[in-house]
């Protein structure tokens, strides 16, 4: 019998999160201080399910490897997965889909960091008793993930639940009255 602790795999679709943050939330390229603190995501995963977490950060690197970013990911405990492919090939999506399929053969849990609907079916396939979650921006999350919450999918917000940002983002959200602070609007 395997005595090693169960693992949570944290799969980060960096392109999706960066595009949502830049295009949909900020309306421009995020400044470094506005980007997620990725180490907080691993900490959240470890604490949330009380087990080790392995972070895989998927990025398209067709002709150039962003070494400073890769080194930063390595330093905080991620395994960068730099991918290349043909023109128009969504290499990050393909790799994450293959990874989700492989996780089905392991006694492991998974947190997917993406809003992308391309992952709804592979995530649905993992809802077989294991813990599965999706982390992203709730207002941009694909409707398919919301529907999977009834089947056991946990949904988390990168800003509000994970607290991955140093600065509050300019997002519009429904605020429970107990959390309403008028100073944030004045």
Structure tokens at 137: 């921006």
Mean of all residue pLDDT scores within the chain? 92
Q: In this predicted model, what pLDDT tens digit does every residue of 46-75 receive, in sequence order? A: 999 999 999 999 999 878 888 999 999 999
Task: Report the 10 Å Cβ neighbour count for 159.
Answer: 20
Q: Which fold has domain 7-184?
A: Rossmann fold (3.40.50)
Residue 116 CA: distances (Å) to CA of 8, 43, 73, 112, 122: 20, 23, 22, 10, 12
As a whole number of angstroms, the distance between CA 81 and CA 57 comes to 6
The pLDDT, as a whole number, for residue 2 is: 52
Asked whether the predicted pLDDT for residue 13 surpasses 90, the reply is: yes
Query: Which tens digits make up the pLDDT trace of 125-165?
Result: 999 999 999 999 999 999 999 899 999 999 999 999 999 99
Is 130 in contact with 122 (CB distance < 8 Å)?
no
User: In sequence order, which residues have a C-beta less than 8 Å from that of residue 112 and are 6 or more positions away?
Assistant: 11, 13, 96, 100, 119, 123, 132, 133, 134, 135
3-state secondary structure string across the chain = CCCCCCEEEEEEEHHHHHHHHHHHHHCCCCCHHHCCCHHHHHHHHHHHHCCCEEEEEEEECCCCCCHHHHHHHHHCCEEEEEECCCCCCCHHHHHHHHHHHHHCCCCEEEEEECCCHHHHHHHHHHCCCCCEEEEECHHHCCHHHHHHHHHCCEEEECCCCCCCCCCCCCCCCCCCHHHCCHHHCC
pLDDT band of residue 1 (cuts 50, 70, 90) is very low
Q: Residue 88: what pLDDT?
A: 87
Where along the chain do its domains lie? Answer: 7-184
Instruction: Report pLDDT digits (tens) over 26-47.
Output: 999 998 888 999 999 999 999 9
Q: For residue 183, what pLDDT band results from cuts at 50, 70 and 90? A: confident
Site of tokens 């907080």 = 40
């Amino acid at each position: 019998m395997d005595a090693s602790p169960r693992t949570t795999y944290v799969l980060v679709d960096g392109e999706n999160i960066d595009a949502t943050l830049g295009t949909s939330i900020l309306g421009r390229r995020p400044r470094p201080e506005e980007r997620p603190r990725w180490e907080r995501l691993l900490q959240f995963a470890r604490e949330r399910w009380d087990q080790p977490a392995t972070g895989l950060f998927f990025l398209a690197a067709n002709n150039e490897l962003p070494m400073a970013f890769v080194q930063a990911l390595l330093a905080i405990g991620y395994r960068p997965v730099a991918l290349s492919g043909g023109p128009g090939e969504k290499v990050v999506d393909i790799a994450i889909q293959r990874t989700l399929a492989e996780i089905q053969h392991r006694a492991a849990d998974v947190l997917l960091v993406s809003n992308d609907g391309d992952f709804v079916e592979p995530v649905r396939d993992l809802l077989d008793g294991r813990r599965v979650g999706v982390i992203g921006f709730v207002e941009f999350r694909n409707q398919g993930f919301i529907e999977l919450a009834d089947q056991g999918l946990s949904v988390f917000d990168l800003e509000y639940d994970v607290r991955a940002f140093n600065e509050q983002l300019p997002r519009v959200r429904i605020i429970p009255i107990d959390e309403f602070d008028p100073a944030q609007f004045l």
